[in-house]
Structure 1
Amino acid sequence: MIPSPIRKVYQGIADRRQMFRMFDRHSQRPNHPEVDATALYSGEWFEIGQVEYDYMLEILPPLWMRSGMFAMREFLTGSITSIFLTLTIDGRTRYFHGYCDLSDCSSPDRMCTAIVERESRPVKAMTREERLEHIWSNTHDDYRGYAGEREPEHLRGSRTVLFFGGQRGKVLKLLDQLTDAEVAAKLPVHLRYLPAIAA
């Protein structure tokens, strides 16, 4: 089994409303009930606050708990479930949510390692992929979707966002094909000019 890449999907600390939106940020995907979405969710993570962490701990008895980590009893899809983490990074206690594939018992520990490594960087920066994931996470469901029958077959199912193109009005664009200027326009001001992380 090849593990899914571990990736940050939201910049900043998600409040309760945003956290619940991101729990199923792929809910509009084509063939929702029929297609296994394990690869889509596995490895996604974002930061939450302590209040949200405590709230999720109290909802249901966890599937399992260990130091600084617990897993939700309800599975999202297949063997994918929510893992909630308490991590100390640079002397600060922080809280995170991630989706782990529990068919791989090392998945939660790999997620912890990846989050600490990503969040320990001395300079605040974002990769292009993180910028695109933040745009997807932050865009309301009415303004994002998936390429359908009008698109060439190889693009069907690709993520799309509605972009306001000046005189052209509203334009549906493939998320992966946004230009750097369009990405900057879609990001909140405080994230627009962060340097890119070297690949």
Structure 2
Amino acid sequence: MSTPSAMRKVYQGITERHQMFRMFDRHAQRPNRFHGDASALYAGEWFEIAEREHDFMFEILPPLWIRGSMFAMREFLTESVTSVFFALRIDGVIRFFHAYCDLSDGGSVEDMRLAIIERETRPVRAITRDERLEHIWSTTADTYRGYADETTLQYLPCQRVITLFSKAGSARLKLLDDLTDDEIAAKLPVQLRHLPDTAVAA
């Protein structure tokens, strides 16, 4: 299972340390986790972290490399994908980010840096449908999210599914990508529910 690979913000806000570590492997539940190359699944994911977490990660191991305000982790998540940490000045403020970059692509780190800056300097605060879905996936407990397998024959294998609850309390699975606007709003924190879509705000 490897589809994504476009650069994508996968969490809204700044992660605390426990959430940051959880975000490092948002796909831990995928079927056949230790088989095949999942580089495309992780490459391009990014989210914001606090300065304390940025410095903490810098001190864990000697970096693979340091380039200005960026450094890469020595331990690779997949064959060619590793964590890259950024300290970027955006609108006069230094902010900190984690991203997965595929180092087999020589331009991936600079492309990621530019993508983060472009995304975070938009004049209107907005959020795309895809970003809403990724935030829901990132913040849902493992018990209530997963991947379709032989027990969910109505879905294609490896599609992401989320547990929804009716007013009566009964649970059912639904494809993450098929959530309605109302279902998405119900799963988002209040401050994100009424933000305009990026396409509308652009």
TM norm structure 1? 0.95
Identity of aligned residues (%): 62
Give the match's secondary structure for 1:190.
helix
C-alpha change, 1:74 and 1:66, in structure 2 (3 Å) is: same
Give the match's secondary structure for 1:110.
helix
Structure 1 segments, 4+ long, off by >4 Å, are none
User: How far off is 1:35 after superposition?
Assistant: 2.4
Deviations 1:109-142 (A, max 9, x none): 0000000000000111100000000000000111
Give yes or no for the alignment of 1:162 onto 2:174. Answer: no
Q: 1:109-148 to 2 correspondence within 5 Å? A: 109-148=110-149
The count of aligned residue pairs is 197
Deviations 1:36-94 (A, max 9, x none): 11110000000000000000000000000010100000000110000000000010100
TM norm structure 2? 0.94
Give yes or no for the alignment of 1:36 onto 2:45. Answer: no
Give the match's secondary structure for 2:113.
helix
Alignment-mate amino acid for residue 21 of structure 1: R
Alignment-mate amino acid for residue 106 of structure 2: C
Corresponding position of 1:101: 102
Give yes or no for the alignment of 1:54 onto 2:64. Answer: no
Corresponding position of 1:13: 14
CA contact (8 A) 2:148 2:159 kept: yes
User: How far off is 1:154 after superposition?
Assistant: 6.2
Distance 1:155 1:118 in 2: 32
User: How far off is 1:171 after superposition?
Assistant: 1.2
Q: 1:71-82 to 2 correspondence within 5 Å? A: 71-82=72-83
Corresponding position of 1:194: 195
Distance 1:194 1:155 in 2: 32
User: How far off is 1:155 after superposition?
Assistant: 1.6
Corresponding position of 1:183: 184
User: How far off is 1:150 after superposition?
Assistant: 3.8
Give the match's secondary structure for 1:185.
helix
Give the match's secondary structure for 1:70.
strand
Distance 1:124 1:35 in 2: 38
Give the match's secondary structure for 1:83.
strand
Give the match's secondary structure for 1:97.
strand
User: How far off is 1:152 after superposition?
Assistant: 4.3
The two structures, once aligned, show a CA RMSD in angstroms of 1.4
Corresponding position of 2:65: 64
List gaps (5 residues or longer) in structure 2: none
Alignment-mate amino acid for residue 16 of structure 1: R
